[in-house]
């Protein structure tokens, strides 16, 4: 029950509904005991004594019992349904909120399909169990308890004989639970893996089709589907093995009852009415015990689901606020960023940065150039505090960013990532995502600034055009310009452009860069780029290689010295006269 203790905060506030559901179920169960007694009274006191005038009254009593029982059954279903849905709602809210605040470190390894499975199938299993399953398990014990008391009140000797097989039935049920729980965990894991495969395939459908890999994807899904099928088959085999055994044991009780009870009736120590009532009570007990496997099934499914849900809820948030964080005020933030001897490594990986020091003053533009894995994006991630710095420090206006309120820090930063993501919303909604109090005039202004206004107005509904999932329906350059507009409308003190113009042509890039000059005034800007044209205007360019700073300086300074920057410049501007002039100057210096 440790799983359900961990989930207590979700269902215990709704305990009134829980207790109401249990109370109604107890009443329903108690009323069920009336039938055996009515049967005994009908046979022994009415039929045997020929008091047929009491039959109408007995019939009315049966109708009354059925009606009251139906009312309690309705109230049990109503309160249980409300309980399950409220608990599921609260858990869904808590899980989604936790996912919003989990660190980048968690998402580096998390799988989207697995998370979706936990938010849907696993939550549904918990909802059903808490709403009805728990009460049904309690009902099993109530029916067994009430039925046993009633049986002993009729004939204690026959009760003992009949219940000889009950411990064996309970033992089989416990063994069944021990086998079925690990099996259901495997089923959930394989289902999560299959869901992930489907999600990845749908997300990357264009890549799949462009490489004509449909057969490969079908084969990959078939393997995971087969794994899911085999786990379900293994679960079914456990059911097929234990259920016949439990049915056999249950029916042995009925055989003992008929044999011993019939003998007592013949001897006169038991009436026919008592035997009939006893037979009803036995099945009143055996029925719940026989179906205990079904309830164990629900319990084990919900326990496996609860473990996966608690795994998310108990995830440690690596990046979070200190006890008394500094809350930044936009009016006083200047935007001076300093990296002080920062060394950083991702979990289970080589250091991505080595002893980085830089000072970005307000209004300055810092550019980063380097190959894949050189540490460019790591610098930006540390500035956004996607990860915590362990060696060295990063400060904003002299304050360590680990001491700054995380939301207020990120409110001062706007980022345009290389991999553009747009929501399934209107273009206006995507541009205004970072601000609540934005006007249409401001949206149009930034759209014009990034050369997006013209193509937006060509859309069927202009700014109210709904873009598809992840921006489907727009070209890469159009998506990137909308993402840039989304960042600029935030009016940040720190602007980060992570290869923001990589998806636009050179001409459009120059137009956007011209607009950036106005936007960058008074802001600290960090630019990651592979194009020299995006970095030429930077106040300082830092060239990285495997986490080390190998060159730094302005564009004019770097093209006058041999190194990676000049090599990149030569490749990108092979026909540019500056290259020939720079090369000739270096040759003359070499001769001297």
Residues 353, 347: Cα–Cα separation, whole Å: 13
pLDDT value of position 580: 42
Specify the 3-state DSSP secondary structure of 452. coil
Confidence of residue 514 (pLDDT cuts 50, 70, 90): low
* Residue 587, pLDDT score: 37
Dihedral in degrees, nearest 10, Cα atoms 464, 469, 472, 475: 80
Range with lowest mean pLDDT among 25-34, 90-99, 469-478, 567-576: 469-478
- Lowest average pLDDT, out of 108-112, 218-222, 446-450, goes to 108-112
Alpha carbon distances (Å) from 587 to 556, 560, 590: 18, 12, 5
- Interatomic CA distance for residues 359 and 377, integer angstroms: 17
Query: Is 456 a domain residue?
Result: no
Residue 141 inside a domain? The answer is yes
Give the separation between CA 578 and CA 591, rounded to whole angstroms.
20
Number of domain units in the chain = 2
Quote the percentage of the chain above a pLDDT of 90: 16
pLDDT confidence band for 36 (50 / 70 / 90): confident
Q: Does any domain span residue 573?
A: yes
Residue 492 lies in a domain: no
Task: Using alpha carbons, list the distances in angstroms from residue 9 to 91, 118, 137.
Answer: 9, 18, 21
Asked if the structure places residue 338 within a domain, the reply is no
> 291-300 pLDDT, tens per residue?
666 777 778 8
Higher-confidence residue of 471 and 138: namely 138
Query: 139-190 pLDDT, tens per residue?
Result: 888 888 888 888 888 888 888 888 888 788 777 877 777 787 788 778 878 8
pLDDT tens for 459-498 read 888 899 888 766 667 877 788 888 888 888 888 889 888 8
Model confidence at 515, pLDDT cuts 50, 70, 90, reads low
Sign of CA dihedral 171, 173, 175, 178: negative
Q: Is the pLDDT of residue 313 over 70?
A: yes
| Contact present, 493 and 524 (Cβ < 8 Å) | yes
Whether 40 shows a pLDDT value over 80: the answer reads: no
Last residue of a domain, one of 298, 313, 328: 313
- Which domain-ending residue is among 281, 313, 345? 313
pLDDT at position 483 is: 86
Average pLDDT over residues 324-343: 89
CA separation for the pair 67, 167 (Å, rounded): 35
- Is the confidence at residue 330, as pLDDT, over 50? yes
Query: What single string gives the DSSP state of each residue in 350-412?
Result: -EEEEEEEEEE-TT-EEEEEE-TTSSHHHHHHHHTTSS---EEEEEETTEEGGGB-HHHHHHT
Highest mean pLDDT among 38-47, 263-272, 280-289: 263-272
Separation of alpha carbons 240 and 244, rounded Å: 7
Separation in Å, CA 83 to CA 131, 135, 264, 286? 5, 11, 48, 29
Residue 253 domain-assigned (yes or no): yes
- E strand or H helix at 543: strand 540-545
| Domain-terminating residue out of 313, 331, 366 | 313
Q: 550, 546, 526: which is closest to 538 by C-alpha?
A: 526
**Beta strand pairing call for 365-370 and 391-396:** unpaired
- CATH number, domain of 306, equals 1.20.1560.10
pLDDT at 511: 63
Q: For 352-408, write each residue's pLDDT tens digit.
A: 899 999 999 998 999 999 888 888 888 988 998 988 888 999 999 989 999 999 888
539: DSSP letter: S
H/E element, 542: strand 540-545
β-strand partners of 524 = 494
In the chain, % of residues over pLDDT 70: 90
Q: State the average pLDDT over residues 78-87.
A: 91
Q: What is the mean pLDDT of the chain?
A: 83
How confident is the model at residue 507, as a pLDDT? 67
pLDDT in tens, 316-328: 888 888 889 999 8
The pLDDT of residue 291 is: 65
- Render pLDDT for 182-212 as a digit per residue (tens, 0 to 9): 887 788 788 878 877 887 777 777 677 766 7
Q: Which domain holds residue 575?
A: 559-592
Exposure class string for 188-206: b at 16+ Cβ within 10 A, else e: bbbbbbbbbbebbbeeeee
Inside any domain, residue 483: no
For the beta sheet containing 413-416, the strands, ordered from the edge strand earlier in sequence to the opposite edge, are 413-416, 494-498, 524-528, 365-370, 540-545, 548-553
């Amino acid at each position: 029950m440790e799983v359900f203790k961990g989930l207590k905060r979700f269902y215990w506030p709704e305990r009134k509904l829980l207790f109401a559901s249990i109370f109604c179920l107890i009443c329903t169960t108690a009323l069920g005991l009336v039938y055996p007694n009515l049967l005994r009274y009908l046979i022994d006191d009415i039929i045997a004594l020929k008091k047929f005038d009491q039959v109408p009254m007995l019939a009315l009593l049966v109708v009354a019992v059925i009606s009251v029982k139906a009312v309690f059954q309705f109230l049990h279903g109503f309160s249980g349904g409300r309980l399950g849905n409220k608990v599921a709602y609260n858990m869904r809210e808590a899980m989604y909120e936790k996912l919003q605040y989990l660190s980048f470190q968690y998402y580096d390894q998390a799988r989207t399909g697995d998370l979706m499975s936990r938010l849907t199938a696993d939550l549904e299993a918990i909802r059903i169990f808490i709403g009805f399953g728990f009460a049904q398990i309690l009902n099993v014990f109530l029916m067994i308890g009430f039925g046993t008391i009633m049986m002993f009140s009729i004939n204690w000797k026959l009760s003992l004989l009949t219940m000889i097989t009950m411990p064996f039935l309970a033992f089989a049920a416990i063994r069944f639970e021990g086998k079925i729980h690990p099996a259901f965990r495997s089923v959930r894991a394989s289902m999560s893996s299959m869901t992930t495969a489907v999600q990845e395939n749908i997300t990357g459908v264009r890549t799949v089709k462009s490489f004509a890999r449909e057969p490969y994807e079908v084969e990959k899904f078939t393997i995971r589907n087969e794994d899911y099928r085999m786990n379900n088959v293994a679960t079914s085999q456990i059911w097929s093995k234990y259920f016949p055994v439990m049915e056999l044991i249950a029916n042995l009780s009925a055989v003992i009852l008929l044999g011993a009870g019939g003998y007592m009736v013949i001897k006169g120590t038991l009436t026919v009415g008592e035997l009939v009532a006893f037979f009803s009570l036995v099945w009143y007990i055996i029925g719940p015990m026989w179906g205990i496997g079904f309830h164990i099934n629900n319990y084990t499914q919900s326990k496996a689901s609860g473990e996966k849900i608690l795994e998310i809820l108990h995830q440690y948030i690596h990046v979070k606020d200190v006890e008394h964080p500094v809350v930044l005020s936009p009016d006083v933030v200047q935007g001076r960023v300093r990296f002080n001897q920062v060394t950083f490594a991702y979990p289970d990986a080589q250091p991505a940065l080595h002893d980085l020091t830089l000072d970005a003053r307000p209004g300055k533009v810092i550019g980063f150039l380097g190959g894949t894995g050189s540490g460019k994006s790591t610098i930006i991630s540390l500035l956004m505090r996607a990860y915590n710095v362990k060696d060295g420090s990063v400060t904003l206006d002299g304050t360590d960013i680990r001491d700054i309120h995380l939301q207020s820090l990120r409110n001062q930063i706007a980022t345009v990532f290389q991999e553009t993501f747009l929501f399934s919303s209107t273009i206006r909604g995507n541009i205004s995502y970072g601000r609540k109090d934005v006007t249409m005039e401001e949206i149009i202004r930034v759209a014009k600034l990034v050369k997006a206004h013209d193509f937006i107005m060509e859309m069927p509904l202009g700014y109210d055009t709904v873009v598809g999932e992840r921006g489907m329906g727009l070209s890469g350059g159009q998506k990137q310009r909308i993402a840039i507009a989304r960042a600029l409308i935030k009016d940040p003190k720190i602007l980060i452009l992570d290869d923001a113009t990589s998806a636009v042509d050179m001409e459009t890039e120059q137009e956007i860069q011209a607009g950036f000059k106005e936007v960058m005034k008074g802001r600290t800007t960090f630019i990651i780029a592979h194009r020299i044209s995006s970095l030429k205007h930077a106040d300082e360019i830092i060239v990285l290689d495997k986490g080390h700073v190998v060159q730094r300086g302005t564009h004019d300074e770097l093209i006058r010295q041999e190194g990676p920057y000049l090599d990149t410049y030569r490749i990108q501007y092979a026909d540019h006269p500056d290259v020939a002039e720079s090369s000739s100057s270096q040759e003359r210096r070499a001769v001297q």
